[in-house]
Amino acid sequence: MTSIIEKLPRLPVTDALPDLGAALSAGTRAVLSAPPGAGKTTLVPLFLLGEAWRGDGRIILLEPRRLAARAAAGRMAALLGERVGETVGYRMRLDNRVSAKTRIEVVTEGVFARMILDDPELAGISAVLFDEFHERSLDADFGLALALDAQAALRDDLRILVMSATLDVERISALLDDPPAIISAGRSFPVDIRHQDRPAGERIEDGMVRAIMEAHRGESGSILAFLPGQAEITRTAERLDGRFGPETTVVPLFGNLGQKEQDAAIRPAPAGTRKIVLATSIAETSITIDGVRIVIDSGLQRLPVFEAATGITRLETVRVSRASADQRAGRAGRTEPGIAIRLWHAGQTAALPAFTPPQILSSDLSSFLLDLAHWGVTDPADLRLVDQPPAAAVEEARNLLRLLGALDGSGALTPAGKHIRELALPPRLAAMILHAADDGEQAAAARLAVLLTEQGLGGPSVDIEERLRRFAGERGERAEAARRLAQRMAEGFGRAKADAASTPGTLLLHAFPDRVALQRGGRGRFVMANGRGGELPETERLAGAEMIVVADLTGQAGRQRILAAAQIDRAAVEAELADKIVREDQCVFDKASRQVRARRVVRLGAMILEETPLPRPAGAKAAQALADGVRQLGLQVLPFLREAAQLRDRLGFLHRSIGEPWPDTSEAALLARLDDWFVPFQEATRGLDDIKPASLQEGLMALVPYEAQRDLARLAPTHFEAPTGQRHPIRYDGDEPVLEIRVQELFGLKQHPAIAGGRLPLLLELQSPAHRLIQTTRDLPGFWAGSWRDVRADMRGRYPKHPWPEDPAAATPTTRVKPRGT
């Protein structure tokens, strides 16, 4: 093997290979950081073939995408002068090229996760290499955690190498217990980075076309243009159509293309011609497109974002990270000096995030938790993950797996869960095949599952039945491989029926029982069993269906767009999901009438299939429904008149001043405790307008422990009795109790009015005879002795008929004017 290594091309990573070899000979873990173009993907695995510790074991190289895996295997095999499948092979979901001679096996990250889950000892494997780890896919994070677990418990001789062009070395090294970190030199050729700021409001396709035309006129060599997705690539290709002669071809490159089309995109342009490759981030890493010396970067990418609250994964177009921008620019310097044109202002680069967010933070975790349970772990925190997944997403995944019968109450795999995991499909679709097999319809279910997991098969139609018809007639390597995969899945369940009777909608009921949808609100508008809505364009055939099953949708809560669905009839729903359909009498609050209504309903989850009105209700259920109305509309709909409002203020004041046992009477607190103080006192009430203020007072007092109720009048009295004998209400709606009173009523009072046994002074708002505020004070004796003189002088002129004594502390309190002649 040494002679083979000597024949390999010299690339920047070559100088780092001796240090890498020493690190993996002395230990079992290492980290390699090598910029784009360094050659790590092809040279490192070939170099490790000659290491003594390998013996005759295989080297597994993980790649993030199928295209990258095929390209890496092909390039390594070519360097050895062999065909793929001999010393170097690859393994992926729809395609395997390995043999007994294979010693370097390039696999996609998801394939490796299943390899180690099925064989934790990784028998016959000497090393696992995680390439392009900076992309931080969920499968890569999980695969590394499993490899570390297996190495610690079962395979202390297993080598683990983490490689990347833009690696967060410190975090990864810490996870691996600080193994040697080897830093390789940069790209082989320099790249001139230029910026062309795209005007605000300009479509990305128009800016890209302009940049491509300028670069094509002014520079030589092929062009690689990065766009966020397939739609933008298609529109850009349409705008470029007919603009070049036969010496320049425009080719797309994205994940939904077949293998032949992808391979054609990365194949060098024939001599004397140029190529313009319009690509997504699929071309960002691990592949070399010979002849490309110009990269044009839109600066955008499309990332899946899972929302635990809706259970939906939607695609978002976002700015690339600085690491991705560097990776893209590096494509221009792989084989000769190049140019990278960025369609944004140079100053914006510093504002880009350093790295692309890890998938584990924004993914559907149902497959992850299923595999975790198979590994014998119920809590992700028990694995060595770079980032722990969000708790909400973990709980959402657990709930789904319980719904599908894959996990039991303790989080362990059920027998059904074991079958679901073995199918290597999203759990929903695996559960569908498992259920269909009971009726001998596993073949139809498997074809449907493969169609839904392989984007682009059967065309872009929302109608799954239409896509299945097209898929049945599709020719081509990818379609044939997909059909073979479906056949292998179905064969694992024995003999299938020749003619499946179930429609796609019926099959999908067991994958998406929570997404059965009923048309509600007009053509194309549906409400699902999970309570959420979804929309179809009115022009779609399915928009007129009464019921559908939604297999895919996107968008934020309240504006969800259905991407894939199948029609279903109610009879099939009732037959297939009989155990999930509930028949019950309900009391509900009708917001329009402000009344409680009763109805008999047939429902699936939150979706009402049928309802019948019942006589107007009363009792505990009606009171609960009324409380729901209060939660919807807020406490302002309740008749808190003077006495009830003052009681609420008094209790709230004592809560703020003393705390327990006095209850919190803020709106949020009272809404949270409606079952304690509202519901028990409204069982005879049928609508908001029927609520009696006295019932609110009773309810509020029920929040006060009986032994404390006697202290309420002493600690927070309702009124203050003035020296005149008149009673004045005390306000408790602020931070301190307030008494509004005309100043003449306090004449003769030598102590400041107080409550709580004289410990808490009242804030006096002293008023004129016309009830206008003239002074506030917390010290009445001080007021008499101080500013009273100025107040008296002013008030005597305004109200000459009223008494204004020089010594009010010794005067007689009054509510009247002075007697005549005084």
DSSP symbols for 572-599: HHHHHTGGGEEEEEEEEEETTTTEEEEE
pLDDT value of residue 5: 63
> Can you read off the two tokens belonging to residue 546?
């009464």
Query: What's the mean pLDDT in 8-17?
Result: 87
Residue 444: pLDDT band (50, 70, 90) is very high
Q: What is the mean pLDDT of the chain?
A: 89
| Interacting residues of 608 by C-beta distance below 8 A, sequence separation 6+ | 518, 601, 602
Residue 310: pLDDT band (50, 70, 90) is low
Q: What is the 3-state secondary structure (H, E, C) of 769-813?
A: CCCCEEEEECCHHHHHHCCHHHHHHHHHHHCCCCCCCCCHHHCCC
pLDDT value of residue 714: 86
Query: What's the mean pLDDT in 204-225?
Result: 94
pLDDT > 70 in the chain, percent: 96
Q: Which helix (H) or strand (E) holds 296?
A: strand 292-297
pLDDT value of residue 548: 96
Q: Three-state SS for 511?
A: coil
pLDDT value of residue 167: 65
> Could you count the other beta carbons within 10 Å of the beta carbon of residue 607?
21
pLDDT value of residue 659: 86
Please give the backbone phi and psi of residue 545, each rounded to the nearest 5 degrees, phi first: -70, 145
- Whether the bond between 45 and the residue before it is cis, its omega within 30 degrees of 0, is no
Query: What's the mean pLDDT in 471-477?
Result: 88
Residue 432: pLDDT band (50, 70, 90) is very high
Distance CA 734, CA 792 (A): 29
CATH class of 191-356: alpha beta
Question: Are 237 and 250 contacting, i.e. CB atoms less than 8 angstroms apart?
Answer: yes
For 361-464+474-496, CATH number out of 3.40.228.10, 1.10.260.40, 1.20.120.1080, 3.30.1130.10 equals: 1.20.120.1080
Query: What's the mean pLDDT in 596-601?
Result: 90
pLDDT value of residue 311: 67
pLDDT value of residue 1: 45
The pLDDT tens digits of the residues spanning 533-590 come to 999 999 999 999 999 999 988 876 667 889 999 999 999 999 999 989 999 888 889 8
Distance CA 152, CA 197 (A): 51
What does the buried/exposed string (b/e) look like for 609-636 if buried means 16 or more CB atoms within 10 Å of the residue's CB? Answer: beeeeeeebbeebbbbbbbbbbeeeebe
The pLDDT tens digits of the residues spanning 690-717 come to 899 999 999 999 999 988 888 898 888 9
What single-letter amino acid sits at 386? V
**Angle at alpha carbon of residue 234, lines to 233 and 238, rounded to 5°:** 115
The pLDDT tens digits of the residues spanning 265-290 come to 888 888 889 999 999 988 777 677 77
Residue 262: pLDDT band (50, 70, 90) is confident
Range from 101-110, 251-260, 297-306, 755-764 carrying the lowest mean pLDDT: 251-260
Distance CA 550, CA 516 (A): 6
- Residue 84 pLDDT greater than 70, yes or no: yes
Q: Which helix (H) or strand (E) holds 327?
A: helix 322-330
> Can you read off the two tokens belonging to residue 189?
């050729």
Question: Are 558 and 533 contacting, i.e. CB atoms less than 8 angstroms apart?
Answer: yes
Distance CA 572, CA 258 (A): 36
Distance CA 135, CA 164 (A): 9
Q: Which residue has the higher pLDDT, 258 or 570?
A: 570
pLDDT value of residue 557: 61
Where are the domains positioned within the chain? 2-183, 191-356, 361-464+474-496, 508-581, 630-709, 719-810
Query: What's the mean pLDDT in 40-46?
Result: 93
Distance CA 403, CA 559 (A): 25
Residue 495: pLDDT band (50, 70, 90) is confident
Q: Which helix (H) or strand (E) holds 738?
A: strand 738-742
Phi-psi region of 240 (alpha: psi -120 to 50; beta: other; left: phi over 0): alpha
Please give the backbone phi and psi of residue 234, each rounded to the nearest 5 degrees, phi first: -60, -45
Distance CA 611, CA 401 (A): 31
Phi-psi region of 262 (alpha: psi -120 to 50; beta: other; left: phi over 0): alpha
Q: Which residue has the higher pLDDT, 553 or 147?
A: 147
Nearest residue to 813 via CA among 753, 730, 738, 731: 753
pLDDT value of residue 588: 87
Burial class (CB in 10 A: 0-12, 13-18, 19+), 410: exposed
CA atoms within 13 A on the CB side of 382: 8
CATH 3.40.50.300 describes domain 2-183: yes
Range from 54-63, 209-218, 317-326, 565-574 carrying the lowest mean pLDDT: 317-326
> Could you count the other beta carbons within 10 Å of the beta carbon of residue 199?
7
| Interacting residues of 8 by C-beta distance below 8 A, sequence separation 6+ | 14, 43, 46, 47, 79
Distance CA 81, CA 102 (A): 14
pLDDT value of residue 558: 63
Residue carrying structure tokens 């605000």 = 200
| Interacting residues of 49 by C-beta distance below 8 A, sequence separation 6+ | 1, 4, 5, 59, 87, 103, 104
Q: Which residue has the higher pLDDT, 506 or 303?
A: 506
- Residue 260 pLDDT greater than 80, yes or no: no
Query: What's the mean pLDDT in 636-652?
Result: 91
Please give the backbone phi and psi of residue 443, each rounded to the nearest 5 degrees, phi first: -65, -45
Q: Which residue has the higher pLDDT, 185 or 544?
A: 544
Query: What's the mean pLDDT in 238-249?
Result: 92
Query: Which is it for the CA torsion 676, 682, 688, 694, positive or negative?
Result: negative
Nearest residue to 223 via CA among 265, 180, 263: 265
- Residue 766 pLDDT greater than 70, yes or no: yes
DSSP at 299: S
**Number of DSSP helices (H) and strands (E) in the chain, helices first:** 28, 31
Query: What's the mean pLDDT in 325-350?
Result: 89
pLDDT value of residue 348: 92
What single-letter amino acid sits at 104? I
Residue carrying structure tokens 């309810």 = 699
Fold for the domain defined by 508-581: OB fold (Dihydrolipoamide Acetyltransferase, E2P) (2.40.50)
Question: Are 101 and 87 contacting, i.e. CB atoms less than 8 angstroms apart?
Answer: yes
pLDDT value of residue 51: 93
Residue 71: pLDDT band (50, 70, 90) is confident
